[in-house]
Amino acid sequence: MTGNLEYLMSSLPDLSFQNEEDTEEKVTSLLKKYADASEGETSLVAILNNEAAKFLSPNESQLFQEINLEKIHNNTFQKRKSKVLSEFSSYVFKLKKQVEQLRLFRKSNENQRGENKKGIQITPGNPLEEEKQLIKFQWEKIEAISTGHYADFEALISYKLKLMLLVRLWSFKAEKGFGIFEKSINIEEYGR
Amino acid sequence: MADKILMNKNFLAALKIELKEYKTALPVFEMKEQQLKGVVQEIENDIVRLQQSIEETNTKTKEWVGVMAEKTIDLSEIVKVDSAITEKQEIAGATIDVFVDLKFEEIEIDLFETPLWVDAAIEVIKDQKTDLLMIAIKRKNIELLREELAEARRMKNALKEVFIPETIDNIRKIQIYLGDVERLAIGCAKLVKKKKQDKGASV
């Protein structure tokens, strides 16, 4: 199994914390090569899941498929045997709690952004910059907890977590975002 | 104003009263026109200022708006207008709506589950919605005030260009006619008197 994973890990594109379009295109094109042409448009995470399933046991494959960035802080992940998964899950839970505190602090102290002393140490910036910092914190945590894992299941989990972080980072498209913003400020419905 | 001129003193007196009323009404319509022009200009300036504010907010938001492309939350579902509060105000005979406040529905946001950027997005959407609604109300007011302004202008012009000059002209015509009649009557009286005197002397 380890040998197979070594093959899989070595054939996956390198991931680095970059938001440049060419990095996104490179990773996307390489990962899409794995996808069956007949499957049409598939998400990068789905491609990785499908590809990994070929090299993992049914139990591992099921766990691997369940890994989801939106639910990664859940208790079920914190209790997993996988060190990378449980540590990252606990870290995200703590991070989300700190972000929640920061948001509460900001709500109660309008115009005093970033003065939260007991909460998360985030450099105040615009929401995109702050979101990138939070993703970077998570990226660095994965790097730290996956040290020494290169071609095992832990390495594959780290790879998926990193890929999910990048997919989230790459989803921040200005044009699309502005379209959503414009749609949400529409007041026509109020008959004015 | 009467269609037919009657060449008598009663009609002359009625025309003089009419002229007096026209002269009293003219400054009222002139003042109304000036006031409405001022208010319309003021509202137009407000609209320009609000549009600039919207543009500035859009420019600032564009720096980070990419986060809104993330498929986590439906922004139009979490920022919903509850009610727009306005007050009626009368300006130079026109009743307009004055913006007081825009109330949003109190929708609880899960600060743990939702991303950090959602707070800023909600604030900026609320600000833009408020500014856009204010513009919409002001545009509607401008429409009403322009109609009122056009009416005031029509009345001012009618008084200034038609009613007052025509009445003055009619008064002049009647006065000339009545003057002629009076002179004729005096001439006749003098002639009668002279004839009477001549007749008395010959007797």
pLDDT digits (tens, 9 = 90+) for A145-191: 999 898 899 999 999 999 999 999 999 999 999 999 999 998 764 44
pTM equals 0.84
Q: How many CB atoms lie within 10 A of CB A187?
A: 18
B75 vs A contacts (CB less than 8 Å): 180-181, 184
**Rounded average pLDDT over B168-197:** 94
Quick one: tokens of A186? 């529409």
Note whether residue A181 is domain-resident.
no
Picking from B63, B112, B133, the nearest residue to A187 by CB comes out as B133
What is the average pLDDT across A69-74? 92
Whole-number average pLDDT of chain A: 87
A179 lies in some domain: no
- Chain A partners of B67 at a C-beta cutoff of 8 Å? 127-128, 131, 172, 177
A80-117 pLDDT, tens digit per residue, is 889 999 999 999 999 999 999 999 999 887 655 555 55
Give, for B189, the enclosing helix (H) or strand (E). Answer: helix B164-202
Is A118 domain-assigned?
Answer: yes
Enumerate the residues of chain B whose CB falls inside 8 A of the CB of residue A112: none
Name the token pair of A40.
């049409």
Q: Is pLDDT of A3 > 80?
A: no
Euclidean distance between CA atoms B177 and A101, whole angstroms? 96
Phi-psi category of residue B157: left, alpha or beta, with phi > 0 → left and psi -120 to 50 → alpha: alpha
Check residue A6 and give its pLDDT. Answer: 87
Which residue among B62, B129, B140 places its CB closest to the CB of A178? B62
Hey, are the CB atoms on B64 and A171 less than 8 Å from each other? Answer: no
Confidence (pLDDT) at A8: 86
Domain contains A186? no
Is residue A150 in some structural domain?
Answer: yes
- A55 in Cβ contact with A5 (< 8 Å): yes
Residue A13 per-residue DSSP state: P
Q: Which domains does chain B have, with CATH numbers?
A: 9-194 (1.10.287.3240)
Only one residue has tokens 């009222």, namely B28
* CB < 8 Å to B69, chain A: 171-174, 176-177, 180
Whether residue A75 is contained in a domain is answered as yes
- Whether the Cβ atoms of residue B162 and residue B46 lie closer than 8 Å to each other: no
Contact A177/B79, CB-based, under 8 Å?
no
pLDDT number for residue A38: 54
- What value does the mean pLDDT of chain B take? 94
Residues of B in contact with A131 (CB under 8 A): 67, 115-117
In whole angstroms, give the CA distance from residue B53 to residue B132: 10
Residue pLDDT, tens place only, B75-91: 888 898 899 999 999 99
Q: For residue B23, is pLDDT > 60? A: yes
**Percent of chain A beyond pLDDT 90?**
58
A128, A130, A180 ranked by CB distance to B63: nearest:
A128
Residues of chain B contacting residue A177, judged by C-beta atoms under 8 Å apart: 65-69
- How much is the ipTM here? 0.89
Give the residue numbers spanning the domain of A18: 2-173
H/E segment holding residue B114: none
pLDDT given at position B122: 95
Question: How many whole angstroms separate alpha carbon A50 and alpha carbon A23?
Answer: 22
* A26 against B54, higher pLDDT: B54
H and E: helices and strands count for chain B? 4, 2
A70 touches chain B (CB under 8 A): yes
Residue of B nearest to A128 (CA): B64
Residue B180, both tokens: 């002629």
CB contact under 8 A, B65 and A106: no
**How many structural domains compose chain A?**
1
Q: Tens of pLDDT along B103-162? A: 999 899 999 999 999 999 999 999 999 999 999 999 999 999 999 999 999 999 999 999
Q: Give the CA radius of gyration of chain A.
A: 19
Q: Is the pLDDT score of A192 beyond 50?
A: no
**Nearest chain A residue to B97, by CA:** A192
When pLDDT is cut at 50, 70 and 90, the band that residue B2 belongs to is low
Q: Is B70 on the interface with A (CB under 8 A)?
A: yes
With beta carbons under 8 A apart, name residues in chain B contacting A104: 111
Confidence class of residue A37 from pLDDT cuts 50, 70 and 90? Answer: very low
Measured between CA atoms, how close is A112 to chain B, in angstroms?
14
Can you list the alpha helix ranges (DSSP code H) found in chain A?
2-11, 21-32, 44-53, 58-66, 75-78, 83-108, 127-145, 153-170, 174-184
Contact A192 B81 (CB under 8 A): no
Residue A7 domain flag: yes
* Residue A120 contacts B where some CB pair is shorter than 8 Å: no
pLDDT category at A41 given cuts 50, 70, 90 is low
Contacts of A186 in chain B (CB under 8 A): 76
Percent of chain A with pLDDT over 70: 87
Residue pairs spanning A and B at CB distance below 8 A = 98
Residue A183 lies in a domain: no
Q: Do the Cβ atoms of B116 and A174 come within 8 Å?
A: no
